[in-house]
Structure 1
Amino acid sequence: MDEIVKIINDIKVGNIKPIYFLMGEESYYIDKLTEYLEDNLLTEDEKGFNQMVLYGRDTTIEDIVSNAKRYPMMAERQVIIVKEAQDLSRTIDKIEAYVNNPQPTTVLVFAYKYGKVDKRKKWIKSIAKNHILFESEKLKDFKVADWIKRVLQGRGFSIEPKAAIMLQEFLGNDLSRIANELSKLEIILPKGSTITPDHIEQNIGISKDFNVYELRKAVGEKNHHKAFQILNYFHQNPKSIPKVLLIGQLFGYFSNLLKYHGLKDKTQGNVASALGIHPFFVDEYRIAAANFPMKKVSTVINKLKVVDGMSKGVGASNLEDIELYKEFLISVM
C-alpha cells in the first residue's frame, strides 16, 4: 500500500510523528507497521530504558498517558506501543486530552485491530490532521490473488494464477494466514522459483484437483464425473471444506452467473469489475453461461436455498449432506 510506504519513508528521513494510531479490520498491515515502529524508532541500546510495550487488556488510558508524559533517558525520544488497543474501546475517548497536547519527545503507537474508531470523533480528526491515522481495510476477495503475486514478486518469487487462486479459495482474505503459508514455501523453495499448484498441494495440503474452485468449474462445464469425484473427496475429507462454505461458494457462483447474463458489456475487464472476480475466472463464467441460461440459473439458486435449509434440518429429509448435494447436482446438471 502506498500509504504504508509513505509512512516508512517519512520515518527513514526522520519525519517521526508523536502519535501513530493504526486501526482497521485487516490486522496484517497493522502488525507489520507496529513491528517496523518497534524495531526502527530506537537503537538497541536505547530500547532498554526508552521503549515500552503495553497491552490493552492489561492497562488503562491513564497509565498510558502517565507513561507517555515521561521524559526519555539518554535518548532523543521514548516509544510507547499499545498492542491489542481494541481492548480499550470503552475508554479510548479519554485519550483526547493527550492527543491535543502530546509529549513531543514520546512516540505513542496504538495498534487497534479488528475494528475502528468513529472518525467523526474530534480526537481522531486531530490525529488525522496532526499525526498519523492509518486505516487497514479488508482486501476484497477478488484482489487477493494479485496481492499474493505482488508480495511474492517483492521476495523474488513468482506464482502461477491457479496456485494463487487455490490459496485465496482455501484461506479467504486473511492476509496474515496467507503470508504465513507463503513464508513456508519461501523456506522450502529456492529463490526465483515459480510456485505451482503442485507446490501448494504438497506443502500446504490444499488439493489442486479437489477443491471448491474445481467443483464450481466442473458444475459450470456440466462435467458430472468430475463434480461427483470432488463431492466424494469432500465427504471423505470433511476438514477440506466446511459444508456452510460449500453452499455459500455455489450460491455466490450462481448469483454472479445471473449478473453475468444481465451484462451488456461482456469484455473481460468489465465482467471482472462488475462481478468482483479475478479476470482469471471470466472464461469460466462465459462457458457456464452457455450451459445455464438465465431462467435455469434462477432455478438453481432457488434449489440451493432448499438444499441449504435441508442440510440445517429444515424440512423432512433422511438424507446425509453428501446425498443432498448429489441430488442437487443431478437436478441442475
Structure 2
Amino acid sequence: MAKQELSCDDILKELRAMQYRPIYYLMGEESYYIDLITDYITENVLTETEKEFNLTILYGADVDVATVINAAKRYPMMSKYQVVVVKEAQAIRNIDELSFYLQKPLPSTILVVCHKHGVLDKRKKLAAEVEKTGILFESKKIKESQLPAFTSSYMKKKGIDMDPKATAMLADFVGTDLSRLTGELEKLIITLPVGQHRITPEQIERNIGISKDYNNFELRSALVEKDILKANKIIKYFEENPKTNPIQMSLSLLFGFYSNLMLAYYSPEKTEQGIANWLGLRSPWAARDYLIAMRRYSGVKVMQIIGEIRYADAKSKGINNNSANDGDILRELVFNILH
C-alpha cells in the first residue's frame, strides 16, 4: 500500500503537537507552503536562547552536501534538539549523498531541506530514505479556480469573513502567487476598522488599489451578461491604467473562464452545485456565471472565443501585429466575443 502523503496542515498539526521528524524535505513549485513549514520549525522548536547555538541556516549555493551532513551530525548544546535549515537546496550538487546520513540520522537533529522550483526524483535512493525516516512534501501550485476557496479559508482562520465579490476581485488581481496573496490579505486585516470582521469590495478598492467597478471580475461579468456598454467602459479604464490592468492578466483569466465553460457543457448535472463539483470549485456561488454563460453562448461559439483569445494573446506579444496597442487588442477581442 502506498504511503499516504501528508498535507501542509497535517505537518503543522504534528509540529504543534511537538512530534518532530529527523528530516523534512520540502520541495515543489509553490514557495508559500515550504516557507510556512520552515518558518514554523525555526520559530517554535527552539527557545530564543537555544537558537543562539542550535539553529543553523545554510544556503545551497554556498555549501556542498558534506557540509550539510557535518552540520546534521553535530549534537545540540544545552538543548534537546538542533535545527539545521538548508535553503536553495536545489543548488547543491550530489544531494543524493544525503541518503547515507539518513540511514542513521541523529535523533536530536531536525534537518529541513528547502528545494524550491523543482522536485526530487522519487525513484532515487534519497527520496526512499527521506520517506523512511521523515517527511517528503511536495508543495504544488494551486489552480486559479481554487483561489477563492484558499482566500476564504485563510481569512476564516483569522476570524474574518469576505464578501464573495471581494474574494474574486483579489484572486483575479493577484493570481496564484500565494505569498503575495496572503501578504495582501494581511494588509486588509490590519486596515479593518475596529469591530469590523468582513472585507468588502470597497475595502479592496481603498487598500489594494483595485477598482470595484473596473476589474477583470467585472469584465467577465459584463461578457457573461453580454453587456456591451459595461464591457467597453472597463476596457477604456484598463487602457488608461495599463500598469494595474495588464492585458496578459485579462487574457489569462478570460482563457481560464471560457475553457472551464467549455468543460461545463459536459457536466452531468447542470445546477450550481453540479457545475461546482464538475469544475472543482469549492463554492456553488462561483458556478453561477457558468450557468448564465451556458444560456447565452453555444458550445461552438465558446470554441471560437477560445481561439480568439489565443489570437489576441499572440498579437499582444507582437505576432502578426504591426500597430495595435493592448487596448485595441482587448477591444477587438471583446467585440468578437459579444458578436
- Structure having the higher helix fraction is 1
Determine the structure 2 residue equivalent to 1:122. Answer: 125
Q: 1:46 aligns with which of 41, 45, 50?
A: 50
Write out the 4+ residue segments of structure 1 that deviate beyond 6 Å after TM superposition. Answer: none
Tell me the TM-score normalized by structure 2: 0.90
Determine the structure 1 residue equivalent to 2:284. Answer: 279
1:71 matched to 2:82: no
Secondary structure (helix, strand or coil) at the match of 2:233 reads helix
Taking a change above 3 Å as real, the CA distance of residues 12 and 234 of structure 1, as seen in their structure-2 partners, is closer
1:17 matched to 2:21: yes
Q: 1:297 aligns with which of 294, 302, 305?
A: 302
Which of 64-73 and 311-320 deviates more? 311-320
Secondary structure (helix, strand or coil) at the match of 1:71 reads coil
Could you tell me how far apart the structure 2 residues matched to 1:281 and 1:54 are? 44
For residues 243-274 of structure 1, the C-alpha deviation after alignment (integer angstroms, 9 at most, x for no partner) is 22322322332232233334342122221233
Contact kept in structure 2, 1:156 and 1:192, CA below 8 Å: no
Contact kept in structure 2, 1:156 and 1:191, CA below 8 Å: no
Matches within 5 A, 1:155-170: 155-170=158-173
Equivalent residue letter for 2:309: L
Could you tell me how far apart the structure 1 residues matched to 2:254 and 2:16 are? 48
Equivalent residue letter for 2:289: E
Q: 2:314 aligns with which of 290, 309, 315?
A: 309
Determine the structure 2 residue equivalent to 1:228. Answer: 232
Which of 193-202 and 107-116 deviates more? 107-116
Could you tell me how far apart the structure 2 residues matched to 1:108 and 1:296 are? 55
For residues 72-127 of structure 1, the C-alpha deviation after alignment (integer angstroms, 9 at most, x for no partner) is 22222222111222222x32112111111212222211122222111222221221
Cα deviation for residue 225 of structure 1 reads 0.6
Cα deviation for residue 168 of structure 1 reads 0.9
Determine the structure 1 residue equivalent to 2:201. Answer: 197
Q: Determine what percentage of the aligned residue pairs are the same residue.
A: 41
For residues 248-305 of structure 1, the C-alpha deviation after alignment (integer angstroms, 9 at most, x for no partner) is 3223322322333343421222212333445323221222222222232233333333
Cα deviation for residue 61 of structure 1 reads 1.0
Cα deviation for residue 60 of structure 1 reads 1.4
Equivalent residue letter for 2:316: S
Matches within 5 A, 1:78-157: 78-88=82-92, 90-157=93-160
Which of 18-27 and 232-241 deviates more? 18-27
Could you tell me how far apart the structure 2 residues matched to 1:8 and 1:285 are? 36
Secondary structure (helix, strand or coil) at the match of 2:79 reads coil
1:261 matched to 2:265: yes
Taking a change above 3 Å as real, the CA distance of residues 264 and 80 of structure 1, as seen in their structure-2 partners, is closer
Could you tell me how far apart the structure 2 residues matched to 1:7 and 1:249 are? 33
Could you tell me how far apart the structure 2 residues matched to 1:201 and 1:109 are? 40
Tell me the TM-score normalized by structure 1: 0.91
Aligned CA RMSD, in angstroms, stands at 2.2
Equivalent residue letter for 2:60: G
1:320 matched to 2:328: no
Taking a change above 3 Å as real, the CA distance of residues 261 and 47 of structure 1, as seen in their structure-2 partners, is closer
Equivalent residue letter for 2:331: K
Which of 184-193 and 17-26 deviates more? 184-193
Could you tell me how far apart the structure 2 residues matched to 1:311 and 1:176 are? 28
Equivalent residue letter for 1:131: G
Could you tell me how far apart the structure 2 residues matched to 1:47 and 1:137 are? 30
Cα deviation for residue 237 of structure 1 reads 0.5
Determine the structure 2 residue equivalent to 1:171. Answer: 174
Cα deviation for residue 222 of structure 1 reads 1.0
Could you tell me how far apart the structure 2 residues matched to 1:51 and 1:229 are? 56
Segments of structure 2 that go 5 or more residues without pairing to the other structure are none
Contact kept in structure 2, 1:17 and 1:131, CA below 8 Å: yes
Could you tell me how far apart the structure 1 residues matched to 2:313 and 2:147 are? 27
Which of 197-206 and 142-151 deviates more? 142-151
Equivalent residue letter for 1:296: K
Cα deviation for residue 146 of structure 1 reads 1.5
Taking a change above 3 Å as real, the CA distance of residues 323 and 19 of structure 1, as seen in their structure-2 partners, is closer
Q: 2:243 aligns with which of 239, 242, 246?
A: 239
Cα deviation for residue 13 of structure 1 reads 4.3
Determine the structure 2 residue equivalent to 1:180. Answer: 183
Could you tell me how far apart the structure 2 residues matched to 1:27 and 1:270 are? 32
Equivalent residue letter for 1:70: R
Equivalent residue letter for 1:261: Y
